[in-house]
Amino acid sequence: MIGRVKEALEHALVRIAPALPRNPNLLTVMGLMVSLAAIPAALIRQYPVLLPIIVLVSGFFDVADGLSARFNNRVSNSGAFLDSALDRFEDSAIIIAVAVLGGLSDVLLIEAYVAVVGSLLTSYMRARAESLGLRMLGVGFFERPERLIYIFTLTLIYALVRRIEILTYGMGLFALITLVTAVQRTVVAYRLLKNH
């Protein structure tokens, strides 16, 4: 699903490509800076709406760097690697921010740990499989764009109703689905490699 979601966003934002900085790596780093601000923002519990705003802005930069790279003919392997590497830092920071927003309860800490591991494994399984020659784009139903949309929706609902159960159950489901997606990619990749 990653391709469909990201393509839809890029199509909607393609008109702003000429106004973006010519260096896509600058946008990638800006996205990281925004994501790292999620944790201190989550500490300001009287304004929980700050976290979904940060997730939304982070998602914008995730799309914008690719738009800038293509529009300015600056697509490169080094840029793709930087984008992928910093995405992992961003994902981890945002997940930890959700646990911070929820007061760092024992349950939320465990869920956040599992969610970070699941997110990293999901991305790793794709990277490893593709390094072995497989095409894994779209394999798995909870890839990065879906995860960002989920976290945005979860934190926005929490900001509106301010019930800790929203974060507890929501993050538990998030952790479970990331692990299932990682396992799904592992099984698909293994079967494809075994049949080669």
Diameter of the chain measured on Cα atoms: 55
Q: List, as one string, the DSSP characters of 169-193.
A: HHHHHHHHHHHHHHHHHHHHHHHHH
> From the candidates 62, 65, 87, 91, which is the catalytic residue?
87
Nearest-CA neighbor of 167 among 90, 46, 52, 58?
52
* Annotation says 91 is catalytic: no
Task: Tell me the C-alpha distance between 56 and 69, whole Å.
Answer: 21
Distance of CA 144 to CAs 47, 141, 164, 172, 178, Å?
26, 10, 24, 17, 10
Catalytic sites, residue numbers: 87
